[in-house]
Structure 1
Amino acid sequence: MTEETQKSPQDGERIAKFLAHAGIASRRDAEKLIGEGRITVNGQTVRTPATKVTAADDIRFDGERVGGKAQIQLWRYHKPEGLVTTHKDPQGRATVFEALPPGLPRVVSIGRLDLNTEGLLLLTTDGGLARFLELPSTGWRRRYRVRAYGRATQSQLDRLKDGVTVEGVSYGPIEAVLDQVQGGNVWLTISIHEGKNREIRNVCRHLGLQVNRLIRLSYGPFQLGNLKRGEVEEVPRRQLVDQLGKKRAAELGLI
């Protein structure tokens, strides 16, 4: 019997949760790291995310010692297009985390922006906070500026308020405003709450529009504002607590 199976259910916390709080990855991505055999505990490769650990264990990611719970911090980052939102890309493409300015601690992203999407990406040291803010039940709206080739009317866009199903995928209510017609393109402002994979691109294609520029302007109460491409700015802790509410902030360990 190995050390990890000898531990009682009361000992420590699940390894995936520990890694998330240490800022290694979200719980979902931590489970992927475990499946890839990249996490060890006391010299043994972890085989299941149900493994319990404590701060006394020697926990390593790719051979590097993982510390305990990191101080919870949040940053606004202006992601340029051409970067993938992953810590390690199997295709060798440039990643967000390689492009971040020096001096930041290890961070995880709150949600993702695809390769050709630019704009606001929130980064945090805490996987628990990331998971909470990603949940549709949190209710935070994501707002985008969209340029797309083709034509659409406001009446077509208004029908998205009831949600839409595209190629078997159901999307919740979408707010879309036709801002401007420019040559063969239209400019739209689109707000969503779920943030499913490639949601805006897929819905626009359903309307006969081909997205050629996509910029996230806001995520919940946090705005892209005047951040320059590649620039990072920390969100003051008090502001984060105010936006979460004291009860939720306490549950997440912020206060």
Structure 2
Amino acid sequence: MTSDRPKKTSRKDTPRKPAAAESGQNDKGERIAKRMARVGVASRRDAEAMIEAGRVTVNGKVLASPAFNVGPSDRIEVDGKPLPAVERTRLFLFHKPAGVVTTNRDPEGRRTVFDVLPEGLPRLITVGRLDINTEGLLVLTNDGGLARTLELPTTGWLRRYRVRVHGKVDAEALEGLKDGIAVDGVFYGAIEATLDREQGSNAWLTVGLREGKNREVKNVLGALGLDVTRLIRLSYGPFQLGTLAEGEVQEIKGRTLRDQLGERLITEAGANFDAPIATPFSNKPVRAGRPAPAVEISERPAPREGFVKNRKRDRDDHREEMRGRLQTRPGGRREDDERRDSGTRHSRAAHVWMAPGARPQ
């Protein structure tokens, strides 16, 4: 026998209104912290802290919580200044010198990477960090969403380092790093480490890792009884340090950037390649204190006959020069600096991975 009484609904079965609807706000758009990160003002975490501090207003009202969505027509101000317009997603490669801190402002007054970058760059944030004494490739972008995506270990990008160590290298112990290692209660995942050459009590290693935990290379090699005396990052995923000289920065072209990121990462990061470029910058290497080359607005002409052979010869010459720079002799750094300042740099550099046998476009 069935009853005609209406079925009672539990509280679980009652659809819950979105938080945005309960607060009277439109649920369309994107979170305010995400918009601030998108234009490079700050990371999402820092943006949320700025909102909680009362530094952000939307349409004239001070926000008390980062749980707020904004649309394209909302007027957003940070510290009384309008939020910059969304710009096309861009990415820059920077050869970080040793002795500078990877941060916007240092409470101890030390020089930061933004103090040594050339003028004329858009507002940028770093993809990850390098220790103060670590040199080499540092990736910067104007898109906070892209920076957050590329930093995640789930992205699976390999970071390669050139490491000079002091101590006796055990090849078997290096091989064992492929299985991971625990140091002081912290487990580090698989690490690729190979011995390149030894000279007395010093040696050069090539190390590849995918997690990028804080001071990972120094902690892991220290657990093997090796003291890291120099650390140079050579690559970050498909992006290579190449021939980029110390202190130079270079932008990756939009088409190349899209190809290297791939559709999956572009979707996950929400990268925007349709917006205009508000601050043009040369895609050739630029160093602080030197005039920037003219912004290239036309497509590169077709390669001349014999260009590939000449470029290969240039790379071979540069490889020999780099081997001389990555030495263990005392005083080598000073000789390298003098040679680099007096020598002529190559104008062409490949900073992205290219499959064997591929031809440059």
What TM-score, normalized by structure 2, do the two folds share? 0.65
| Matching of residue 74 in structure 1 with residue 91 in structure 2 | yes
Alpha-carbon distance between aligned partners in 1 of 2:227 and 2:62, rounded to the nearest angstrom:
46
> In the alignment, does 2:249 pair up with 1:249?
no
The answer as to 2:67 corresponding to 1:41 is no
> 1:192 corresponds to which residue?
209
**Structure 1 residues 123-168: Cα deviation after superposition (integer angstroms, max 9, x where no partner):** 1110111111111111110000011111112111010000111111
Matches within 5 A, 1:187-226: 187-226=204-243
For 1:23 and 1:151, the matched residues in 2 are separated by 45
The aligned residue for residue 133 of structure 1 is 150
- Which structure 2 residues correspond to residues 3-22 of structure 1 after superposition, within 5 A? 6-8=23-25, 10-22=27-39
How far, CA to CA, are the matches of 1:84 and 1:61 in structure 2?
Answer: 25
Give the Cα–Cα distance (whole angstroms) in 2 for the partners of residues 77 and 104 of structure 1. Answer: 12
Corresponding residue for 1:163? 180
Q: Aligned-pair RMSD on alpha carbons?
A: 2.0
CA distance, structure 2, for counterparts of residue 197 and residue 34 of structure 1: 28
Contact 2:126 2:139 in 1 (8 A): yes
Give the stretch that moved more between structures: 55-64 or 113-122: 55-64
What displacement does 1:8 show? 1.8
Q: Which sits farther off after the overlay, 83-92 or 156-165?
A: 83-92
Query: Going by fraction, where is strand more abundant, 1 or 2?
Result: 1
Structure 1 counterpart SS, 2:139? strand
Gaps of 5+ in 2: 1-21, 275-361
Change (3 A) 1:6 1:204: same
1:235 is aligned to 2:252 = yes
CA distance in 2, matches of 1:80, 1:31: 31
Q: Are the equivalent residues in 2 in contact too, given 1:25–1:127 (CA < 8 A)? A: yes
25 and 150 in structure 1: CA distance in 2 versus 1, 3 angstrom threshold? same
For residues 8 and 143 of structure 1, the distance between their equivalents in structure 2, rounded to whole angstroms, comes to 46
Between stretches 26-35 and 102-111, larger displacement belongs to: 26-35
Give the stretch that moved more between structures: 221-230 or 245-254. 245-254
1:194-227 deviations in Å (ceiling 9; x for gaps): 1011110111111111111110000001000000
Residues 164 and 58 of structure 1, relative CA distance in 2, 3 Å threshold:
same
The CA deviation string for residues 50-88 of structure 1, in whole angstroms up to 9 with x for no partner, is: 233334444334443222322110111101111111111
Letter in 2 for 1:141: L
Map of 1:39-188 to 2, 5 A cutoff? 39-42=55-58, 46-188=63-205
Farther off after superposition, 151-160 or 9-18? 9-18
SS in structure 1 at match of 2:197: strand
1:252–1:197 CA distance, 2 compared to 1 (3 A) = same
After TM superposition, give the deviation of residue 44 of structure 1 in Å: 5.3
Matches of 1:38 and 1:149, distance apart in 2: 50
Higher relative contact order (CA 8 A, sep 6+): 1
In the aligned structure 2, how far is the partner of 1:82 from the partner of 1:76? 18
Instruction: Determine helix, strand or coil for the equivalent of 1:179.
Output: strand
- Could you tell me the percent identity over the aligned residues? 54
Shift of 1:39: 3.2
Aligned partners of 1:7 and 1:52 also within 8 Å:
no
Q: How far is 1:49 from its partner?
A: 2.8
Structure 1: where are the runs of 5+ without partners?
Answer: none
Deviation at 1:99, TM superposition (A): 1.5
Q: 1:45 to 1:215 in 2, by over 3 A?
A: farther
Normalized against structure 1, the TM-score is what? 0.90
Letter in 2 for 1:27: R
